[in-house]
Structure 1
Amino acid sequence: MNYMVLYSPEAEQDLIEILAYGIERWGEQLAEEMCVKVTEQLENLYFFALSYQTRIFNTREKLILDTPYRAIILIDENKKQVFILRILHTSKQIDERYK
C-alpha cells in the first residue's frame, strides 16, 4: 500500500540541524549527501510504512541505515499517511510524548 509521507515542523527543523551540523563537521558536500540519504530512506516509507516496530501510542521508530539517525513516525492507516515526527541522532533520548 502507498502512503503519503508528511514531515512535522520539528522533523523539518531536525533536517536543517543535521545539515548545519554536517557542514560544520564534514563540509557541504558530505553534509548534503547525509541529508539526501536520510530523506531518501524516509521517502521509502511511501511503500513500506508498516514494516517498522510499533512503540507505545502507535509511534514507530525507523533506523536510517548507514547514518547515526532514526526517525520517529506515526502512521494513519485510514488516511494512508505517514507523519515523520522527529529525526534524531541515535544517542539522543526520545521525548516522552513520542513514546
Structure 2
Amino acid sequence: MNYIVLYSPEAEQDLIEILAYGIERWGEQLAEEMYVKITGQLETLYFFPYRTKARRFNTREKLILDTPYRAIILIDENKKQVFILRILHTSKHIDERYK
C-alpha cells in the first residue's frame, strides 16, 4: 500500500537551506542536482517507508545515498502517512526528540 509523504515546516526549511548552501558552494546546477537526489530518494518512502533505520521515540532515519544528508521520519501506520521531520547533514547531532 502507498503512503502519503508529508514534510514538516522544519524539513521544508532544511531543503531550502540545503539548496541555498549548494548554490553558494557549488553553483546552481549542482545544487539542483543535490536537491533532486534528496527529494527523489525521499519519494521512495511512498512505497517503502520501513527501509529505514529504527531510532528511539518511534522515529526512523533514512540515509540519502551519495549525499552527506539523512532524513528523520515518523510513520503513522493508521493513516498511512510518513512525516519527514528533518533533513540534516550527517555531521550534525540529532535533536534529542528524534533519537
Query: TM-score over 0.5 for the alignment?
Result: yes
Is it true that 1:28 corresponds to 2:53 in the alignment?
no
Which residue does 1:68 correspond to in 2?
68
Q: What do you get for the CA RMSD once the two structures are aligned?
A: 0.6
Which residue does 1:42 correspond to in 2?
42
Tell me the distance in 1 between the aligned counterparts of 2:53 and 2:31: 28
Tell me the distance in 1 between the aligned counterparts of 2:52 and 2:65: 13
Deviation of 1:59 after TM superposition, in Å, equals: 0.3
* Residue identity in the other structure for 2:91: S
Query: Could you tell me the percent identity over the aligned residues?
Result: 87
* Residue identity in the other structure for 2:16: I
Correspondence list, 1:1-99, <5 A? 1-99=1-99
Aligned-partner SS, 1:57: coil
* Residue identity in the other structure for 1:51: R
Tell me the distance in 2 between the aligned counterparts of 1:55 and 1:90: 15
Tell me the distance in 1 between the aligned counterparts of 2:54 and 2:5: 17
Aligned-partner SS, 1:23: helix
Query: Following TM superposition, where does structure 1 have runs of at least 4 consecutive aligned residues deviating by more than 3 angstroms?
Result: none
Tell me the distance in 2 between the aligned counterparts of 1:44 and 1:51: 9
Deviation of 1:51 after TM superposition, in Å, equals: 1.8
Task: Note the residue ranges of structure 2 that are not aligned, 5 or more in a row.
Answer: none
Task: Note the residue ranges of structure 1 that are not aligned, 5 or more in a row.
Answer: none
CA contact (8 A) 2:57 2:97 kept: no
TM score, norm. by length of structure 1? 0.98
Q: Deviations over 1:38-77 (max 9, x none)?
A: 0010011000001212111110000000100000000000
Tell me the distance in 2 between the aligned counterparts of 1:73 and 1:13: 15
